[in-house]
Amino acid sequence: MRILQISTHTTIRPRHGGQLRSHHIGRMLASAGFEIKRLAVACRSVEDPVDPDEPLIDISRSPIYQQHVGGAPFEFHDLCGLRAVLEDHSLFSRFESAVSGTDPDVVMLEHPWMWPALIRTSWFARTRARVIYNSQNVETHLKRRMLATAPGVENSALLHDVERLERDLVRSCTATTACTPSDGDVFAGWGARRVVIAGNGATSPMREHLIGSVPAPLTRHHRYALFVGSSHLPNLAGLQQFIAPALPMLRPLHRIVLAGLVGPHFASWLGERHLSRLVKDRLVVMGQVGETCLDSLIANASVILLPIPYGGGSNVKTAEALLSGRPIVATPEAMRGFDEFRDVPGLALADDAGRFQGALMAALESDEAPCRDRGLFSSLLWQNTLAPIVDLLREMESET
């Protein structure tokens, strides 16, 4: 069975959570014997390198796309990408040719955004191929919450467009996959024909050989708390709410280390509030790092931080933290979809900045590492969390 996986981000060289989930879905289905073709409709960027083997429709240079993003907040740039494909004849022609050239039996939409473009193609009108919506959260709810934390942003019309698009896709597609049961309940309430729950997961690399080897400017004498995150708005909001108040309280050899694109954004936010000098040397902003560097940061961290204030779906970084074996300080919101692990040793939950700071300081001052049985977390490996999607496709194949 031929499957076309359409995403609005690259998937072959994944970095952030959304890319990782899409990447491993494609990998798992290919391993199960399905013929997988990928198509990314996204902006090519230096920060997000594209594999030369990945089919990409680059929307970044489209004047229509630039016009739309110029008049919309960042939270709606995915919707702007759809509008560019629908309105830019060249982009839509490339999209239609890519879809018809693959001639798939099943189209898997990673995120909902390309649904209106897909149903406008002459190929879809002719074939009515089956469509799976691989959701990563309820976009309507997440966008509404993001707007609530963006002062002065009023875009009820855009939010209405997102909800109308997502509801139509959920009602129309063959099946909808969800990361959490609560998201699945929302889609079922919207009239989804079938909902399959397939949570987020992670890999579990061996890192013991990296203990004691830390990247500069850190040294073996530092004890540090690590947060890994993209520039996704909830990540930045979590640092502002839970980490900023703790920075002035750190002891001389304590550090907060940020890996990923969220770090420079947080540093800029501190600078705008004239707080950079106050937290000098306490905050280490690594930016995007390579795989070996990231593994070293995780292996030597005194504690991993999950300061997630809100969001949707479940967080890949939570699965990664649980599988790392390191102590964790997390908000209850960060444990969405991981309820069965809320009581594991070494995990501290804190629902406000004061408690989070206290748990963070205690973890930095403790020499005890949690004793965790790797087998306890085997259910969080991608091959287990995504198995329901493989089963869904096998069932659909048997019905043809």
Q: Tens of pLDDT along 172-230?
A: 999 999 999 999 999 999 999 999 999 999 998 999 999 999 999 999 999 999 999 98
> Could you tell me the two tokens for 37?
């073709």
Strand ranges for the chain from DSSP E: 2-7, 35-42, 56-58, 106-110, 130-134, 175-178, 195-197, 223-228, 254-259, 283-287, 303-306, 328-330, 347-349
Contact 214, 301 (CB under 8 A): no
**What pLDDT score was predicted for residue 311?**
81
Q: Is the pTM of this model over 0.85?
A: yes
Q: What is the pLDDT of residue 152?
A: 55
With b meaning 16 or more CB within 10 Å and e meaning fewer, what string describes 120-134? Answer: ebebbeeeebbbbbb
Fold of 208-377: Rossmann fold (3.40.50)
Look at the block and give the residue holding tokens 């280390």: 257
SS3 at position 325: coil
The edge-to-edge listing of strands for the beta sheet with 347-349 is 283-287, 254-259, 223-228, 303-306, 328-330, 347-349
The domain segmentation of the chain, as residue ranges, is 2-201+382-398, 208-377
pLDDT at 153 (0 to 100) = 54
Cα separation, 265 vs 35, in Å, equals 40
Q: Do domains 2-201+382-398 and 208-377 have the same CATH topology?
A: yes
Question: For residue 151, what pLDDT is reported?
Answer: 57
d(Cα 112, Cα 134) in Å, to the nearest integer? 8
Residues of the chain under the 50 pLDDT cut: none
What homologous superfamily is domain 2-201+382-398 in, according to CATH? Glycogen Phosphorylase B; (3.40.50.2000)
In sequence order, which residues have a C-beta less than 8 Å from that of residue 86 and are 6 or more positions away?
A: 92, 116, 117, 120
pLDDT, position 168: 98
